[in-house]
Homo-oligomer: A and B are copies of this chain.
Amino acid sequence: MKKYSKQRELILDSLKNRTDHPTAETLYRDLKHKMPEIGIATVYRNLASLCEDGQINKLKSKIYGADRYDGNVMPHIHFECEECGNIEDLFLKEKKINDIDNEIKELVKKSDAKFLTSEIFVTGICKNCSNKII
């Protein structure tokens, strides 16, 4: 049975209170300030555990090696800038999200498979980087 740990609580809190999508390493460095004794393995372990519980999500970057974590589990779209590597959230109207989701669920059902999750991942050049490249 799963036991409480202040490390896991801190990791979850910290992720819920930021809208960027940090890597385990980035999160670890930030958490070190609040809890200097925390180890990187603990961060990885708890991120995995929180993902399993559906409290956070893991994102695979298209252009950068390390996985990113997202404290916002409401359905939304991810936009990764190919220039700076930052991942931003994009929000479609709820009706549109549901429409797309239903199309996909239909499609999955047709192939006799069971639907679990779906996500939309977009790449491009963010506002900031578009302006830099003159």
Contact = CB atoms under 8 A, between A and B. Distances in A.
A10 interface: no
Nearest to A118: B122
Given A107-B90, A119-B121, A114 B130 contact: yes
A122 B96 contact: no
B112 A127 contact: yes
Interface residues of A, number: 36
Interface string A60-86: 111000000000000001010110000
Contact of A92 (B77, B96, B107, B130): B107
A108 B90 contact: yes
Contacts of A81: 113
B114 A122 contact: no
Contact of A124 (B58, B113, B121, B123): B113
